[in-house]
Amino acid sequence: MGEPVDTEPAAPSAEEIIIKHPLENKWTLWFYENKSKVWEENIHEVASFDTVEDFWCLFNHIKPPSQLSLHCDYNYFKNGIKPMWEDDKNSTGGRWLLQLPPAKNSPQVDDYWKNLIMSIIGEVYEHSCEINGAIVNIRSKGTKIAIWTNNASKENGDNIITIGKKIKEVLGIQNEKLVYEAHEDTANKHGTFAKHAFML
Ligand code: MGP
């Protein structure tokens, strides 16, 4: 009889166990749940991460958007930026917005969301420094997925468009409409729609 064949994979070295892959930025997940009439009281910080491994630990531990209750939101923002118009980093910014049918049990919404979050924490955008975060809103009228950027001025149009085109590429969407709204216009809108500064 020959030597027994060892089919077990080699045990990871101490270095492999300890080293995590750092992200360019630290990110924070916030959760919005519509409980109080005061909007700001409904939004809570959940956890922060700055490595790929800690991101997946968190992301895989929580429900995907399609399993959330109505009127809930996930918000992933760069650490230190609150997911609200009032934050200094958001106040002059806006959002690229994708409107989808209601999310309940929609694997497509979960796919879009996962790819979008991977793209922002992986900093795949040419102007990643302009990206503050991303939000998914679960509503009865439909699901909204958005990337928030920090400069909605007309003079910054080229960068905004470049980011929007990259979002379409990341999500693999050609026919779906993406609109960019300045937060100032969203906050002051009358009715459902804000003025669209750009459209792709
Ligand atoms: P929403 O949750 O972004 O969208 O904003 P929803 O529920 O689809 O409603 P719609 O108006 O877009 O059709 C709902 C409301 O939450 C807003 O009208 C504001 O009253 C409040 N709100 C939302 N955001 C993102 C903010 C914010 O950043 N700051 C403050 N103060 N209120 C906000």
Beta carbons within 8 Å of 188's beta carbon, 6+ residues apart: 194
Range of the domain at 72: 20-199
Beta bridge partners of 144: 99, 137
Number of domains in the chain: 1
Separation CA 108–CA 99 (nearest Å): 13
Which pair of tokens denotes residue 149? 């950027």
Residue at 63 is within a domain: yes
CATH code at 129? 3.30.760.10
Which pair of tokens denotes residue 11? 């045990």
Which pair of tokens denotes residue 188? 């002051």
Q: Model's pTM, two decimal places?
A: 0.91
Residue 4: is its pLDDT beyond 60?
no
Separation CA 22–CA 25 (nearest Å): 8
Residue identifier of the C-alpha nearest atom 16 of ligand 1: 39
3 state SS of 100? strand
For residue range 75-94, list pLDDT tens digits in order: 999 999 999 999 999 999 99
Residue at 83 is within a domain: yes
Residue at 176 is within a domain: yes
Ligand 1 pocket residues where CB is under 6 Å? 39, 84-86, 137, 139, 192
Residue identifier of the C-alpha nearest atom 33 of ligand 1: 39
